[in-house]
Structure 1
Amino acid sequence: MPSAMNDIARAAQLLHAGELVAFPTETVYGLGADAHNPIALEKIFAAKGRPADHPLIVHLPDASHLGDWAIDIPAAAHTLAAACWPGPLTLILKRHPSVPDLVTGGQNTVGVRVPNHPVALALLREFGSGIAAPSANKFGRISPTTAAHVKEELGESLETSVAMILDGGACAVGIESTIVDMTSATPRILRPGAISANTLRQLLHAPVHDSHAAQQTDNAMHIPRVSGSLAAHYAPRTSLQLCAVESLPAAIAAALQQGQRVAVLAPELSPPLLANQHVIRRIASADFSQFAHDLYATLREFDAADCDLILVTTPPDNEAWRAVNDRLHRAATGSGNK
């Protein structure tokens, strides 16, 4: 395990003392606080610049802790927990009365999951309760997938409010968990992730609305607010544009004519690019899992390269790539704010 057990014990002590600890999960690095401590929770919002009504996800040591955080838990939620935990799946359930409003964003629901990372699980077992942990970055920016990203992203907050970073290496998944609302008759995916709608349907042997269906019914019924659901999120400071593969050469040429330095993320078989010192090229994997794993690190690399424009060719428009497309469209919407 990358972090020694004495580091785990110290991190748990800091959490009990109301401090913030950044730690790895299989998805992204989280900025953790005691989920029952409102004073500690306020530190998360201050460090991230996060709106107070934006709910947090509570990470649990295992599914046996569910009853401490949620009530009226449907059988389908237990089925998914048994099949997918530890793993990149967050369940939205009716909150237990003891859950602080800062965790839920003032709603009557709470998001919970059990992460699949040895360091996270060791910390949760040592701590013995729920740890609220949004991504360990400034609100709306690119999520961190290494400990170095956390240090780069939070900067001064490390000195003022983050007591410790547990280094667990690079995150295996690289994008945030699938969020499923279990409070309605039919489960609804509110944020796509590595666990797809088809996988959930197979596990439940029942219908599951995907994120597009949930958006379409938003006017007809209440949809809980959840992490990462704003139109602008996961955003680089450099302007990011999505374009079709066949449009890439023209988009690059237009940028270069304006004197811009361009970063390009495109498949290996996309139109070849002429060697140009003002163009940085990275190959986009044709495999969803690898693309997702690399995405945030690549966007951070492009930001650090002091480019004027990031061009990303649009991935396939199908369910397998839905989570990646979701992140890219939100990143493009929020990008360019340096």
Structure 2
Amino acid sequence: MPQLTTDLDLACARLRAGQLLALPTETVYGLAADARNLAAVAQVFALKGRPSSNPLIVHLAAAAQAADWATDISPAARRLMARFWPGPLTLVLPARHDVPREITAGQDSVALRVPAHPLARQLLERFGGALVAPSANRYMSISPTSSAHVQQQFADSDLLILEGGECQVGLESTIVGLLPGEPPRLLREGMLAPASIEQVLGEALQRGVEGSVRAPGQHHRHYAPGTPSWRFHQAPPEEALADPQCGWLWCGNARPSAGPALDLGDNPDEYAQGLYAALYRLDNLGLQRLLIQSPPAHAAWAAIHDRLSRASTALD
């Protein structure tokens, strides 16, 4: 059974001993291990059931540590670090030759970020090194935004969880690739708007992944509840409204239904913060199906659309 703690010294001792730790970030809870301890990194892949072809994000205490992991750090990368770190932005940069390729999925690039959650920052500063910290869940299942979610995911383990309350952003970080000879590329949508990044860069971001998968979270099915889930854009299926075994997730203007329903409203930041928690609540009810109202087709909802498209199947 996982155990909760707020003891940073105990948390650091676990990490230094090569053990895993679940820690809060502003995005989601991460399953952390010493990034230089390859046996500990292997435990992360094993516990999550994550394939080794999926790269990990290295979490740093400060931007100055980026030079320990990346080479050829461009002026554009430094501008983004200065503006958005600490915060929910991951940068994919050229990896130093001594960066373990177990972390990078064998590639010559490495993903780095400085989290903004105060406990994560205190832990990283006290630990003194870098941590890999993919989401603290089983591979492809719903990402955790509270310690209770982590406990549910790893109920049969003795994982130590650093209790940090509910995550404030609620979706995984925005990922941008800045590699030599390539234009800046948006590799994963997050709640940090691409327009804000482009303003700092002074140029447009290219969209889509080319070549190797440089960033996590790109599988077509991801962030998904166990309950079969569909999303609808127009009117909801009328027969489903009368079905008590059908759960609902609304984006404002909820319709009366026989089955349980949650309405996250029409504010994208508030919706993102509550999305995974809502999916956990509905998924735990033993329903036969879950119907999700698609949010508006506006840029502010892009990251939410990305997560929902990987967690559910379109009805219309």
Q: TM above 0.5, one fold?
A: yes
Q: CA deviation at 1:152?
A: 0.6
The question of whether the paired residues in 2 share the 8 Å contact of 1:18 and 1:39 is answered with yes
Aligned amino acid, residue 239 of structure 1: P
Equivalent runs, 1:323-334 vs 2, <5 Å: 323-332=303-312
Q: Select 1:320's aligned residue among 300, 304, 315.
A: 300
Q: CA deviation at 1:280?
A: 0.7
Paired with 1:45 and 1:165, the residues of 2 have a C-alpha distance of 17
Q: What RMSD over aligned residues (CA atoms) do the two structures have, in Å? A: 1.7
| Residue 214 (structure 1) aligned with residue 208 (structure 2) | yes
Local SS of the residue matching 1:19: coil
Residues 200-237 of structure 1: per-residue CA shift (max 9 Å, x gap): 1111221212xxx325xx3xxx3543111111100100
Q: 2:188 — aligned with what?
A: 191
Residues 240, 129 of structure 1: CA spacing in aligned structure 2 closer, same or farther, 3 A cutoff? same
What is the identity percentage for the equivalent residue pairs of Structure 1 and Structure 2?
40
Q: CA deviation at 1:273?
A: 1.9
Q: 2:256 — aligned with what?
A: 273
| Residue 10 (structure 1) aligned with residue 10 (structure 2) | yes
The question of whether the paired residues in 1 share the 8 Å contact of 2:29 and 2:136 is answered with yes
| Residue 170 (structure 1) aligned with residue 170 (structure 2) | no
Paired with 2:222 and 2:213, the residues of 1 have a C-alpha distance of 18
Paired with 2:237 and 2:116, the residues of 1 have a C-alpha distance of 41
Aligned amino acid, residue 232 of structure 2: C
Aligned amino acid, residue 175 of structure 1: L
Local SS of the residue matching 1:101: coil
Paired with 1:250 and 1:204, the residues of 2 have a C-alpha distance of 47
Q: 2:270 — aligned with what?
A: 290
Local SS of the residue matching 2:102: helix
The question of whether the paired residues in 2 share the 8 Å contact of 1:3 and 1:168 is answered with no
Q: Select 2:218's aligned residue among 218, 229, 232.
A: 229
Local SS of the residue matching 2:110: strand
Q: CA deviation at 1:82?
A: 0.5
The question of whether the paired residues in 2 share the 8 Å contact of 1:232 and 1:331 is answered with yes
Local SS of the residue matching 1:104: coil
What is the aligned residue count? 310
Paired with 1:269 and 1:131, the residues of 2 have a C-alpha distance of 42
Q: CA deviation at 1:250?
A: 2.3
Paired with 2:42 and 2:284, the residues of 1 have a C-alpha distance of 30
Q: CA deviation at 1:287?
A: 0.5
Local SS of the residue matching 1:87: coil
Q: CA deviation at 1:176?
A: 0.1
Residues 225, 185 of structure 1: CA spacing in aligned structure 2 closer, same or farther, 3 A cutoff? closer
Paired with 2:104 and 2:182, the residues of 1 have a C-alpha distance of 21
The question of whether the paired residues in 1 share the 8 Å contact of 2:25 and 2:120 is answered with yes
Paired with 2:69 and 2:174, the residues of 1 have a C-alpha distance of 19
| Residue 261 (structure 1) aligned with residue 245 (structure 2) | yes
Q: CA deviation at 1:198?
A: 0.6
The question of whether the paired residues in 2 share the 8 Å contact of 1:35 and 1:130 is answered with yes
Q: Which runs of 5+ in 2 are unaligned?
A: none
Residues 138-194 of structure 1: per-residue CA shift (max 9 Å, x gap): 0000000001110111121x22xx3x1100000000000001011153211111001
Q: Which runs of 5+ in 1 are unaligned?
A: 334-338
Aligned amino acid, residue 173 of structure 1: V
Which has more helix, going by share of residues? 1
Q: CA deviation at 1:283?
A: 1.0
Equivalent runs, 1:129-140 vs 2, <5 Å: 129-140=129-140
Q: CA deviation at 1:245?
A: 3.9
